[in-house]
Amino acid sequence: MTEKSMRLQGKIALVTGGARGIGLAIMRALVAEGAVPVIADVNQAGAAAAVAALGHADGQVLRVDVADHASVAAMVDAIVARHGQLDILVNNAGIGGNTPFLEIGPEEWQRTIAINLSGAFFVAQACARAMAQRGEGGKIINIASLSGQRGGHGRAAYGAAKAGLELLTKVMAVELAEYGINVNNIAPGAIETEMAKFAHDQATRAAYNYLIPMTRYGTPEEIADAAVFLCSDEARYVHGHTLNVDGGFRAAGLMFRGSKAIPPGQG
Ligand SMILES: NC(=O)c1ccc[n+]([C@@H]2O[C@H](COP(=O)([O-])OP(=O)(O)OC[C@H]3O[C@@H](n4cnc5c(N)ncnc54)[C@H](O)[C@@H]3O)[C@@H](O)[C@H]2O)c1
């Protein structure tokens, strides 16, 4: 590999929810840049298989439920005990949800907020504390969502949690700059993962493909490429930012696909 392709040599990188999907693709990409993988997931068997497939001698597998504060504290303790440091956190673990506003019940609401917002906070705080204590800075990337920026159908709990995470990223950026901890947010659009396969029926897929200027779902690898950039030194002055990786979905307004251009003065 060239020197440029090993931008994260020796960095200890934790990806929560890294057993599959976007998290696993990010973990693979970080390892390709030289990082030491730590995958923590509620699915311990999946995390173990993922780390084994990465084939890294120092790779670490941890079971965590991010919604459980004690479980998160134990995860960070185990990382510091094993590696003596934590350089990168990709705060990715999350669950989906598509229940309409009038139908969503208190259990689903609370579970979604518990994992996608409170859980992300527990993880970010515990990791940032470890980074601040060591005094050598770090990189934190929160994985929010386009659904936290736009009012999508069925996205009451999920969207509210992700909007909260995006704001939390800004607060973290403000408060953690003095510790050299670089914090950013990635907002994926529609990405082809198990979560999307489960949550998106044919009508949803057609609607997404119409509304996305690039007319397709993204891949987990396209999110991973953005994550590598934000974890690298090249992004050292990018701070408190949300990087949408969404095929132009957030940028789009009116789209007249297939219709004739409206002559000037007649629109
Ligand atoms: N797929 C998309 O289109 C899309 C779009 C926008 C944002 N996102 C976000 O990207 C992240 C990853 O999504 P994905 O599509 O890869 O999902 P996925 O369901 O394929 O993977 C999520 C992973 O998180 C783990 N997880 C779930 N609950 C957990 C908990 N309580 N504690 C620890 N681990 C837990 C799961 O076991 C799984 O390995 C999520 O935060 C999601 O909200 C996804």
Determine what percent of the chain is predicted with pLDDT higher than 90.
89
Residue 261 has pLDDT above 80, yes or no: no
β-partners of residue 126 are none
Q: Whose CA is nearest to atom 32 of ligand 1?
A: 65
Mean pLDDT, range 38-65, rounded to an integer: 98
Mean pLDDT, range 171-192, rounded to an integer: 98
pLDDT of residue 41: 99
pLDDT bracket for residue 265 (50, 70, 90) = confident
Structural domains of the chain in order of their starting residue, each with its CATH number: 12-244 (3.40.50.720)
Burial of 89 (0-12, 13-18, 19+ CB in 10 A): buried
Mean pLDDT, range 117-144, rounded to an integer: 99
Q: Is 13 left (phi over 0), alpha (psi -120 to 50) or beta?
A: beta
User: What's the predicted TM-score (pTM) here?
Assistant: 0.96
pLDDT of residue 158: 97
Residues 86 and 76: their CA atoms lie apart, in Å, by 8
Residue with tokens 């009038």: 102
pLDDT in tens, 74-90: 999 999 999 999 999 99
Mean pLDDT, range 112-122, rounded to an integer: 99
Residue 114 has pLDDT above 50, yes or no: yes
**What number of residues does the chain have?**
267
Give me ligand 1 centre to Cα 254, in Å.
Answer: 30
Residues 21 and 123: their CA atoms lie apart, in Å, by 19
Mean pLDDT of the chain: 95
pLDDT of residue 51: 98
Determine what percent of the chain is predicted with pLDDT higher than 70.
95
Residue 5 has pLDDT above 90, yes or no: no
Pocket mutation for ligand 1, best pick of 41, 61, 71, 223 (most atoms within 8 Å of C-beta): 41
Mean pLDDT, range 222-232, rounded to an integer: 98
Q: Whose CA is nearest to atom 7 of ligand 1?
A: 145
pLDDT bracket for residue 213 (50, 70, 90) = very high
Residue 2 has pLDDT above 60, yes or no: no
pLDDT of residue 191: 97
pLDDT in tens, 102-113: 999 999 999 999
pLDDT of residue 197: 85
89 neighbors 124 (Cβ within 8 angstroms): yes
Residues with CB under 6 A from ligand 1: 16-17, 19-23, 41-43, 46, 64-67, 92-95, 115, 119, 143, 145, 188, 190-191, 193-196
Residue 244 has pLDDT above 90, yes or no: yes
pLDDT of residue 200: 85
Residue with tokens 């040599």: 9
**Residue 26: partners with Cβ closer than 8 Å, 6 or more residues away:** 15, 18, 90, 92, 220, 223, 224, 227, 228
Is 217 known to be catalytic?
Answer: no
pLDDT bracket for residue 259 (50, 70, 90) = low
What stretches of 177-232 show up as alpha helix (H) in DSSP? 194-199, 202-211, 220-231
pLDDT of residue 1: 47
